[in-house]
Amino acid sequence: MFGTTTIGIDLGTANILVYSKEKGIILNEPSVVALNTNDGTVLAIGQEAKEMIGKTPTSISAVRPMKDGVIADFDLTSGLLREIMRRISVSGVRKPNVVVCTPTGATSVERRAISDAVRSTGARSVVLIEEPVAAAIGADLPVAEPVANVIVDIGGGTSEIAIISYGGVV
């Protein structure tokens, strides 16, 4: 029987990265959406949309729906995530469990918006994890141990320095 895949999403201001333990990095695309400003139709996402910046008529706008590590435009972010899920479904990932990073200082409203946007893609379940904890896990640090691990996470929209111990930020 087929098992459910768990993926990790780094929903960054500059790039979106999707990772699975089985396949490694599945997708790494710029967090950019190109849309028709007349009717709101999404024309392109990722690298294709980024390449449109500064080269389109006024009826097409290339925007970044994330700002400072959180959602600035919910509808565009949801559309971007749906297209990303469609792309990774080609590689056999369907209705995954999703672990998604959030900035340590994200408010409950910002965290809820991220969770809702990911749920709108049809994810089986969504778990939020603070970005420094995810970075420490990715660096194979002993995050659950009773020792202090200092992690520096430098992103396109936010940078965080944290001490990780017992699975969380101290």
pLDDT at 69: 87
Is it the case that residue 92 has pLDDT exceeding 80? no
Is it the case that residue 91 has pLDDT exceeding 80? no
Q: Going by CATH, does the domain composed of 6-130 fall within 3.30.420.40?
A: yes
DSSP 57-109: -TTEEEE-SEETTEES-HHHHHHHHHHHHHHHHTTT--S-EEEEEE-TT--HH
Is it the case that residue 113 has pLDDT exceeding 70? yes
pLDDT at 15: 96
pTM (predicted TM-score): 0.89
With bands split at pLDDT 50, 70 and 90, how would you rate the model's confidence at 2? low
Instruction: Give the residue among 116, 155, 110 at the shortest CA–CA distance from 135.
Output: 155
What's the mean pLDDT when you consider all of the chain? 92
pLDDT at 39: 94
Rounded mean pLDDT, 96-111:
95
How many H-runs (helices) and E-runs (strands) does the chain carry? Answer: 4, 13
Residue ranges covered by each domain of the chain:
6-130
Is it the case that residue 1 has pLDDT exceeding 50? no
